[in-house]
Structure 1
Amino acid sequence: MGKGFFINKTVGIVGIVLAAGAIATIIALSVVYSQEKSKNNENEVKPTGAVTTPVPTTEPSNEPWDQWRLPQTLSPQTYNVTLWPRLQPDATGLYIFRGLSSVVFRCVEKTNLILIHSNKLNMTLQPTLTALGSKPAPIIESIVMHTKTQYMAIHLKDELTAGESYELYTEFVGELADDLGGFYRSEYYENGVKKVVATTQMQATDARKAFPCFDEPAMKAVFHITLYHDPATVALSNGVVIDKVNITVDDTFVTRTTFAPTEVMSTYLLAFIVSDFGFIEQNIDKLQIRIFARQEAINAGQGEYALSVTGTILKFFEDYYNVPYPLPKSDQIALPDFNAGAMENWGLITYRETALLYDEEISSNGNKERIVTIIAHELAHQWFGNLVTIRWWNDLWLNEGFASYVEYLGADKAEPTWNIKDLIVLNDVHRVFAIDALASSHPLSSKEEEIQRPEQISEVFDTISYSKGASVLRMLSDFLTETVFTQGLQTYLDHFKFNNTVYTDLWEHLQRAVDSSTSTPPRSVQDIMDRWVLQMGFPVVTINTETGQITQEHFLLDPETKPDSGLYQFHGQRKKQHNPYIGCCRKLVSFKMTVTIMFDTTGLTMIMKTGNAYLMFSRLPDSIPVINRAQIIDDAFNLAKAGIIETTLALRTTLFLASETEYMPWESALDNLDYFYLMFDRTEVYGPMQTYVGNKVEGLFDYFTRLTNWENLPPGHTDQYNQVNALRVACSTGLEACTTLVKTWFEQWMENPNVNPIKANLRSAVYCSAIAAGGEKEWNFAWEMFEKATVASEKDKLRAAMACATEPWLLNRYLKYTLDSNKIRKQDATSTIISIASNVVGQPLAWDFVRANWEYIFKQYGGGSFSFSNLINGITKRFSTEFELQQVCDLPQNCFIFF
């Protein structure tokens, strides 16, 4: 049951009087903002009329403003925020937004200090404090801005009274920058006209860039949002529109849009957008569902697929959670500039265009899957994350791991013929094995004091949180049974709705569900799961097949690196039934056999070390389930990397590929062989490798030639993926029939640019292969088509393919384009550099380019952002020599936070 909301009389007056008065007052402050921006020193901002004290320049103290976490003395209740983003530059060339904010908070413990987050905002009027009880508010003595910890510290002459409520009012100006964080601007061209969008990305610590706020997930409140904007644009926020009027403010004709108060929610889930986008909609059981995008994209029908699956997925999660969707509308919007894939803002989900927009003629099967899974991921958050929210970012894995698991369930409901739930093994389980087997991995959950600074918070948005979180929750659901798991989940959500939790709260509710079920496990849920949550890595289990003794040790790809973390030990006799309390995904070896056990729905698989067993396996691939065929390959290669089995033994698991036509084994093999390519594509081993892989893929290429003649789609979802693999690998290994095919298609397109003969699914592979086989003419044509493309997924395919060029000068020119946001959008710059570095010709060029432009790139993409850490990994993943290690060590010191 949702809580009601209360609008204080003073807050109501702010919404009416200040809208006409204060907004008019600050309309002339854009120039002031520019002047203030240049005047502000590193330590303080001086609001007009405020008494300020400089921040000491000594080492950090134990004072509250030098701590990264807010003190628990104040608790916000409601905000009233009015913002006016300007979509045209001011006289100084800056895009700005102006605003005022009123926050009502309760004093929990008496204090003479108000600490509130504020980052890159210039106060244009001295903040005022009003008491809402019987006692007058203390006088503001001084106001100090602490830029390091991003606080506005308001020092009071007397103390606030515990139990009393107060209202803090501020007026401010900020820059509507193109930095993809906080309240920012996105730009695009439509019919040759430049368009500007004012939009937001608050997670994790950027709401404070939009207005002063208590910017921590546990500081939930009700938000009243009002936006001023040009009448030709539309304003969106978390709530529905309750009032929209056109007024004149200081000779400027504007629209004032007021939104319904939000539910009690965290600051990082806020969103407000001003654009001239179009939309499509449908209503399901009085729930309004809308898809917003550039008008051109809406007119082309690119939002139709998202609209068609959203209602189905929402209804699925309502049943799954046994909690009705808590809002009256669900808006989803595709943005031209967006750093993440998507963001689960409550009631107004933001996406990259490639994550929401689908064109039947141009987008691929993979694009379609990405859209439905990301929609399912974000809709899952509307309950798990938004309705019930983690208390602090150290438990981010619970939010993201859960959504990464159930996105497969939601997508399966929308596309039941795809058998998409199996793909979690490739996309998440195998993916995270490679990361969690490193000594540099980390536990799923950290102590709160270890995740404090904004850059530390950014660092937990990684593969461990998403993919390992998804894998262990999938394991948990499997051994508890889905019925027990969902029962515990449902009581958890009902009990904690509109509140905050820690991950052990979920274990408690799952334990209650277990206790009420017919079968009781021998150990508690928390005891089992602590082994997977509080320690990094996973074990390799050794079975003595003569005695049945089982032992384990921490599995590391490099056994020479030993992190300071122990693992629980399991000892016991060999069991015929699987024991879920060993764990999720363990590598097992013995002196006589190598065994892989996945304690989840996939059951048991084996690889015998004896030659006879391998011969039997290669003769009977179809006798082993397809998921297990993929697992055998992945486990064998990882055991070989760790030195536990010979590399030749791992390679022998790929012998059967000559007759394999299923996607999952092929994808597992290709993923693992990629490592060999990275290590050997600059050595004499490369030639024999190409010959070996080419021999294996020739059968797959012939299979799809017979099945589809490369004109039709294969019948199955994953068959379509394997058709792409067949084409890509056959061309990359030099199969003449493949090379002739792709060059012919590309030449036909170049002859008639208005008619692309290449099938949507095959375009990524064809574009890359044709550009690699061609020269400047093919590259320039691809660039021309990239600039003309109006479908984001098509632009992405071309952008990646241009990195396949083999002429160094073309790749160097392309690298320089990443520094120009008019050529390559900021959101795509790092991934473009990574694509170039993935090319053996481009890798040293990308490495030199990043080092030469280190300061600029670090400024644009540093600060702990995951895009920057991906960049560092992408340009160094071929490194394997002592000399290359020394080059990494010679990088500027500020890069090492990403290794």
Structure 2
Amino acid sequence: MENWGLITIRQRDGLYKDGLFPIIQKHNLQEIIAHEVSHQWFGNLVTMKWWSDLWLNEGFATLISLKGVDFLENTTWRYDDRAELQCFALRSDQINGMIPVSGGEYSNPGRYTEVTSHLNHIIYKKSSIIIRMIERIIEEDTFKKGLRRFLNSFLYKNADHEDLFNVLVYVHDSSAGGHLSGQNFSLSDVMDTWIRQPHFPLVHVNRKEGSIVTLRQEKYEHVPYLAKVNDQVWKIPIFYDDPVSAKHKVFWLTDKQPHVFDMAGQYVVDPHQLTYMRIRYDIEMYSDITMALLHDYRVIPTNSRSRLIDDTFSMAEHDQMSYKVAFNVTMYMSKETEYRPLQTFSAYMDYFLPRMYGLEFWSEYQEYLSLIIGKLFDQFNAQGLDADMDIQHDLFSARDIVVLRACIIDYEPCIQMATERFQEVRRNCSGKFQLLSGSDCNKIPYYLRPWVYSAAIKHGTEDDFDFLFEKWNMEHYMMERDSIFNGLCSTRFREKSDLAWKRLMKNRARENILLRCVACSKTMFNDTLLLDMFEEQPEYMKELVETAANDLSAVMILIYRNMQFEKDVKRMDNVLKPYKDLIRFLAKYRSQALGRIVWRQDVAPYFAGNASEAIQIIKIYTHLTENPNYRDPIHFSIVIFPSEFI
């Protein structure tokens, strides 16, 4: 918390020691401290006039903190990368009824103080992306001058978005440069369309000839059959690199009409993902993009690779395009080495794994994931999972995701690795007072521990659980406790599951139950053990309702997330029947569970069919490219991608 003169941080977030914590903890701690320090200017020195402009505090603190940490590490990695921020922001912003970044005079200020992840993604993440976009439009030097003038003008005062707009417009209009020269609209007009209206545009890209395309905007509707007539229009800057000067330039989309644009040989529009939007290409362009990724994925910039994954899977969710498109643009990923595309791909695994696991079609999706994630795991494993990558932030994070996902999909080499390492820990750390948090007996790298514990307990014995449970009870480092519980909640044994969760709830004063449930949700699929416990022990359920309602709600959400059959929803209805307030709170999660069940019945067969087709294409392409005489990617494209590509 950014109290002036007394910044406070949770213990779990505020500790780091070389050799005792994974390097990712250091990076997280740096960003948290930088964010809170940034608030000493944005939030404390100048404070928003009312809660509907909370983004003036949080958006700027988010952005400036990334700049600050990059400066400390002599890099631009965080600030130049928008893929992760955009992925989270877009997923929240596409929900019907979402708030704009800045509320109007008659907006409900209470919406801006609700503590929900979706609203936080708008106030923190979307606003920082829009601010970054404005900086690109008016250029960095002008932007810095504007911020200095804003802070000095409202020193120890309150300000709203109008005050910021007025200062930035004044400084911009007084300076040379920027990307608004010759336009019939002002910087304020641009900012209005992004800050004061909710949601975001979808830009359609259709090829005319060669690199000449048409661009057309409309409001993105995630669920088209619920869409209403909408007249929202954005002033959209399409950033591109001038092939002559090599400088950033902007092509403006300001209405709903199609406009002709020269992509100058690029495969994608807005290649560095500088604009907040989704993009949809035509059939021919998706085919070219897919072939380019397979042939040499590096011809498409990292952020755009992440955007392709995010946009295609998102639009396929409600039949705006076939899942075949999304599978095709991810077939190259066994070669991917960058964190952001892998992180986006991993986020969608969180969506699909609970929907596919346990179905008769699971094996098709599992094989597809094994061809991608499994191959990447084999590469990292061959290099050595203990290899020091602390100074290679991107590669370290990529390895972390790959190991997690390889073990979750039961990729045999990952399970074998986890089992062997866990048994080594059991042998070396068997002493009564030996803690797993130290490195004296526990040689597993810190980043690897949650996934090793989870896989080993899931595929292990009751004795394995008992060993880890004993170590959890004596452990005092919160990060190690969290890693250990990742393993405990993966058990297949009902008695052991009851033991772990009851002890967790008993220790709730020192445990973050919500974070534990979120972490366990990544590894618990087709698991009714928690539901069985509450169904068979109504007195325990009543006790938690009376003494720990908030923490119990987090556990109930976890149970709903794991539901795969309608009979389990009905069982949950009976468990909750005496508790009307809890029923009301959990209504949307019940609805989501029913939606997943319908998806499993109606969509899963087609989804698995697309996965099977992708498997065959990957195998054919691998066979062809391993042939030393293979020289004709065009022929492969014609054979593999006929006219019914979408």
Q: TM-score range by the shorter chain?
A: 0.7 to 0.9
Report the equivalent of 2:103.
446
Using a 3 Å threshold, how does the CA distance of structure 1 residues 429 and 499 change in structure 2: closer, same or farther? same
* Counterpart check, 1:895 vs 2:585: yes
Structure that is richer in helix per residue: 2
- Which of the residues 91, 97, 108 maps onto 1:434? 91
SS at 2:512 equivalent: helix
* Counterpart check, 1:617 vs 2:274: no
SS at 1:540 equivalent: strand
In the TM superposition, what are the counterparts of 1:330-479 in structure 2 within 5 Å?
Answer: 343-417=1-75, 419-426=77-84, 428-447=85-104, 450-451=107-108, 457-458=114-115, 462-479=120-137
* Counterpart check, 1:723 vs 2:399: yes
SS at 1:442 equivalent: coil
1:647 offset after TM fit, Å? 0.4
Contact persistence 1:405–1:470 (CA under 8 A): yes
Q: Deviations over 1:408-464 (max 9, x none)?
A: 1111122225823345421x1111111111214222223465445699554596222
Report the equivalent of 2:164.
506
Matches of 1:454 and 1:861, distance apart in 2: 23
Matches of 2:240 and 2:396, distance apart in 1: 40
* Counterpart check, 1:545 vs 2:210: no
Report the equivalent of 1:739.
415
* Counterpart check, 1:797 vs 2:483: yes
In the TM superposition, what are the counterparts of 1:302-341 in structure 2 within 5 Å?
Answer: none
> Tell me, which stretches of 5 or more residues in structure 1 are unaligned?
1-342
In the TM superposition, what are the counterparts of 1:82-161 in structure 2 within 5 Å?
Answer: none
Matches of 1:502 and 1:850, distance apart in 2: 49
- Which of the residues 220, 224, 240 maps onto 1:559? 224
Report the equivalent of 1:314.
none
Report the equivalent of 2:362.
686
Q: Residue 292 of structure 2 aligns to which amino acid in structure 1?
A: M
SS at 2:149 equivalent: helix
Matches of 1:473 and 1:868, distance apart in 2: 38
SS at 2:203 equivalent: strand
SS at 2:137 equivalent: helix
Matches of 1:725 and 1:600, distance apart in 2: 22
Contact persistence 1:596–1:632 (CA under 8 A): no
SS at 2:517 equivalent: helix
1:623 offset after TM fit, Å? 1.9
Using a 3 Å threshold, how does the CA distance of structure 1 residues 869 and 484 change in structure 2: closer, same or farther? farther
So what's the TM-score if we normalise by structure 1?
Answer: 0.54
* Counterpart check, 1:787 vs 2:449: no
* Counterpart check, 1:486 vs 2:176: no
SS at 1:551 equivalent: strand
* Counterpart check, 1:535 vs 2:197: yes
Matches of 1:572 and 1:346, distance apart in 2: 37
- Larger CA deviation: 711-720 vs 669-678: 711-720
SS at 1:672 equivalent: helix
* Counterpart check, 1:771 vs 2:457: yes
Matches of 1:695 and 1:826, distance apart in 2: 41
Q: Deviations over 1:514-537 (max 9, x none)?
A: 112103623323321222222221
1:570 offset after TM fit, Å? 6.6
> Tell me, which stretches of 5 or more residues in structure 2 are unaligned?
243-248, 435-440, 590-646
* Counterpart check, 1:658 vs 2:330: no
Name the structure, 1 or 2, with higher relative contact order (CA <8 Å, separation 6+).
2
Q: Residue 306 of structure 2 aligns to which amino acid in structure 1?
A: A
- Larger CA deviation: 789-798 vs 744-753: 789-798
Q: Residue 627 of structure 1 aligns to which amino acid in structure 2?
A: N
Using a 3 Å threshold, how does the CA distance of structure 1 residues 529 and 734 change in structure 2: closer, same or farther? same
Using a 3 Å threshold, how does the CA distance of structure 1 residues 845 and 473 change in structure 2: closer, same or farther? farther
So what's the TM-score if we normalise by structure 2?
Answer: 0.74
Contact persistence 1:836–1:842 (CA under 8 A): no
Structure that is richer in strand per residue: 1
Report the equivalent of 2:513.
829
Matches of 2:465 and 2:106, distance apart in 1: 50
- RMSD of aligned C-alpha atoms? 3.9
Q: Residue 125 of structure 2 aligns to which amino acid in structure 1?
A: S
Contact persistence 2:4–2:40 (CA under 8 A): yes
Matches of 2:205 and 2:488, distance apart in 1: 49
Q: Residue 138 of structure 2 aligns to which amino acid in structure 1?
A: L
The number of residues matched between the two structures is: 544
Contact persistence 1:479–1:580 (CA under 8 A): no
Q: Deviations over 1:829-863 (max 9, x none)?
A: 2222333444444764556778974895598565x
Matches of 1:572 and 1:384, distance apart in 2: 26
1:812 offset after TM fit, Å? 3.4
SS at 1:806 equivalent: coil
Matches of 2:240 and 2:337, distance apart in 1: 34
Using a 3 Å threshold, how does the CA distance of structure 1 residues 450 and 574 change in structure 2: closer, same or farther? closer
Using a 3 Å threshold, how does the CA distance of structure 1 residues 569 and 793 change in structure 2: closer, same or farther? closer
1:884 offset after TM fit, Å? 8.2
SS at 2:204 equivalent: strand
Matches of 1:385 and 1:574, distance apart in 2: 31
SS at 2:8 equivalent: strand
Matches of 2:65 and 2:138, distance apart in 1: 19
Tell me which structure has the larger Cα radius of gyration: 1
1:743 offset after TM fit, Å? 1.3
Matches of 2:547 and 2:219, distance apart in 1: 38
Using a 3 Å threshold, how does the CA distance of structure 1 residues 723 and 697 change in structure 2: closer, same or farther? same
1:737 offset after TM fit, Å? 2.7
Contact persistence 2:238–2:251 (CA under 8 A): no
- Which of the residues 672, 676, 685 maps onto 2:348? 672
Using a 3 Å threshold, how does the CA distance of structure 1 residues 871 and 898 change in structure 2: closer, same or farther? farther
